[in-house]
Amino acid sequence: MLMIANWKMNMTRGEIATYLDSLSGEDRWKIWRDRGIRLFLCPPYPYLDYLGGQCRSRNLPIGIMAQNMCAFEKGAYTGEVSAAMLKDLAVDGVLLGHSERRLYFGETDGAIAEKAARALSSALVPVVCFGETRQERDLGQCAAVWSRQVGPVWERVTKCREEGVRTPVYWAYEPVWAIGTGRTADLGDIREVASHLRKTFGEDCASGLLYGGSVNDESVSGLYEKGTVHGFLVGGAFLEAETVLRVFDRLFGHP
Ligand code: PGA
């Protein structure tokens, strides 16, 4: 299980230290990790290194992911951050194609596929976000949108696999209408996504499905089903360390 906190453009150094203090002091992270349950924190770029160091010095077995990455290898791309730089900072993975990146920064399905290929070949675990808008849902276009968003990435994943790349890939189903709204999809919707991925792209594709969109300590239990949901991508609720602990307790029990 992957439990991922997407901090978006939030948190500063002092807030990060306080957050980690609230998570520290117990062995539960090690127990959860040994059960295959991992927490990943996604801070803004400037804090990747600081966060990694703070987790290590506190002996917290918590992973680090970036919120974005450049598709190009290196060179004259002002303002961008490469896969090699993320690896250099001991980052484990990267969120790609978040709906906010698609909406505000014009990221296309093709560009996201390029990024995913770069991440995979750099041994960074890509967490590829996809999901329909309210309007697309109302027009009955969900399946077409999921295929359009996942398809080009899956094609690149398949090619990487043929070249011997074994880095895993995860898919975060994040319906746009559920992000930051307090409304979640329901388990039926998530099952439908899993079955669509399975039918369209094969069992392997559906085996890394996560859900995101207004997950919190109250909603999380109703959104989980073993074998269908392999983790959660959480925004607002995971800006509070206390909620992280409550969600873990709800799902996995206090060790
Ligand atoms: P939310 O955000 O949990 O605040 O809805 C999720 C996300 O955008 O990844």
Distance 159 CA to ligand 1 centre (A): 30
Q: What is the pLDDT of residues 143-202, one digit of tens each?
A: 999 999 999 999 999 999 999 999 999 999 999 999 999 999 999 999 999 999 999 999
Q: What is the pLDDT of residue 25?
A: 77
> pLDDT averaged over the chain?
96
* Whether residue 174 has its Cβ less than 6 Å from ligand 1: yes
CA distance 61 to 64: 10
* Whether residue 179 has its Cβ less than 6 Å from ligand 1: yes
Q: What is the pLDDT of residues 107-133, one digit of tens each?
A: 999 999 999 999 999 999 999 999 999
* Whether residue 97 has its Cβ less than 6 Å from ligand 1: no
Query: Residues of the chain with pLDDT > 90: what percent?
Result: 96
Q: What is the pLDDT of residue 254?
A: 80
Ranges of H-type helices in the chain: 13-23, 28-34, 48-57, 83-88, 99-105, 109-121, 134-138, 142-162, 187-201, 203-206, 220-223, 241-252
Q: Mutate which of 68, 133, 233, 239 to test ligand 1's pocket (most atoms within 8 Å of Cβ)?
A: 233
Q: What angle do CA 146, 159, 148 make, to 5 degrees?
A: 15
For atom 6 of ligand 1, which residue has the closest CA? Answer: 235
CA distance 10 to 41: 12
241 closest CA partner among 42, 9, 18: 18
Catalytic residues: 98, 174
* Whether residue 244 has its Cβ less than 6 Å from ligand 1: no
* Whether residue 168 has its Cβ less than 6 Å from ligand 1: no
Per-domain boundaries in the chain: 2-252
- Model's pTM, two decimal places? 0.97
CATH 3.20.20.70 given to domain 2-252 = yes
Return the exposure string of 207-224: e unless at least 16 CB atoms fall within 10 Å of the residue's CB, then b: bbbbbbbbbbbebbeebb
